[in-house]
Amino acid sequence: MRRLLLAFSFLTILPVPFSTTLEEEEIGKSSVFFPLVGLLKGVVLFSASLLLLRFWTADTVAALVLLVHVTLSGAFHLDGLSDTFDALAARADREKKLKIMKDGTVGAVGAVSLVLVLLIKYLLLKEVLSEKLWPVLLLFPLAGTMAMVVVSCLFKAARTEGLGSIFIKGTGPKELFIATSFTIGILVLSIYFSPKIEDIFIPFIASMMVATVEGRLFEKHFHGITGDNIGAVAETSELAFLLFCLI
């Protein structure tokens, strides 16, 4: 239960108090519960959309649902997305790129990446709401949180310090197996809402493949991955899942 609360505290803005000092290993291993956090986000977005559609059209509700989604995570992953793309765009060596990510100042490329990701997500969510594809709305945050576990397990840390390195060191094959088991269970239950299993499983697998390719790209540029990279993977994996679901 403690690690579950840790996962909620790191991936959402929900206040989760802890009375004792936390060990790095415990923090890192909380990644096993990331899929459950993703599911909770999906439930919140689904509930919010049902309520908001009583008052506004799908065009407006898509924007409001996206706002809820960003607010719920504290825009944490979007910050990682912009920092990652600013670093990738820099014509510099590894150390300089890592410094750019750590600086946190949003550059031109980072700003463009934010605008494009948010714009495309809005358009995709509008289509999801218009067609009442409720399983997609429920599960797309799960794709992002599970992708974080995948890359944290498969790739080494680019830095020896920082929150990202803690999760990367704490996420091994065991954590990946447990998180995958949670995810498969959630996807199987979703068949109740979407009888065609390929409508959910194929887009989900495709989004994990996108996350893995991104991890390879980041490893090539940074000799490992960082917390910012993990956040970028979460955002783009959600986007990939939505795109493949709407093919």
Q: Does residue 17 sit within a domain? A: no
Split at pLDDT 50, 70, 90, the class of 46 is very high
The helix/strand/coil state of 19 is coil
Look up tokens 């540029």; give the residue: 221
State the Cα–Cα distance between residues 2 and 16, nearest whole angstrom. Answer: 10
Q: Does residue 25 sit within a domain? A: no
Q: Does residue 173 sit within a domain? A: yes
Amino acid identity of 144?
Answer: G
In this structure, of 28-32, 114-118, 202-206, 211-215, the range with the lowest mean pLDDT score is 28-32
Look up tokens 């649902």; give the residue: 65
Q: Does residue 19 sit within a domain? A: no
User: What whole-number percentage of the chain has pLDDT above 90?
Assistant: 63
Judge contact between 241 and 138, C-beta under 8 A. no
> Given a cut of 70, is residue 195 above it in pLDDT?
no
CA atoms within 13 A on the CB side of 107: 14
Total tally of structural domains belonging to the chain: 1
pLDDT of residue 41: 95
Q: Does residue 20 sit within a domain? A: no
> Given a cut of 60, is residue 18 above it in pLDDT?
no
> 225 forms bridges with which residues in the sheet?
157
* Segments forming the whole domain that contains residue 227: 30-245
> 160 forms bridges with which residues in the sheet?
none
- Tokens for 53? 């559609």
Q: Which residue has the higher pLDDT, 213 or 195?
A: 213
- Kindly report the length of the chain: 247
Split at pLDDT 50, 70, 90, the class of 243 is very high
Split at pLDDT 50, 70, 90, the class of 29 is confident
Q: Is 71 exposed, middle or buried (0-12, 13-18, 19+ CB in 10 A)?
A: exposed
Q: Does residue 13 sit within a domain? A: no
Split at pLDDT 50, 70, 90, the class of 242 is very high
pLDDT of residue 159: 85
Q: Does residue 6 sit within a domain? A: no
Judge contact between 48 and 159, C-beta under 8 A. no
pLDDT of residue 173: 94
* DSSP secondary structure code for residue 32 in this structure: G
In this structure, of 2-11, 34-43, 68-77, 188-197, the range with the lowest mean pLDDT score is 188-197
Helix (H) / strand (E) containing 200: helix 198-222
Q: Does residue 24 sit within a domain? A: no
pLDDT of residue 197: 60
Give the list of residues 6+ apart from residue 161 with CB closer than 8 angstroms, or none. none
Amino acid identity of 79?
Answer: D
pTM: 0.92
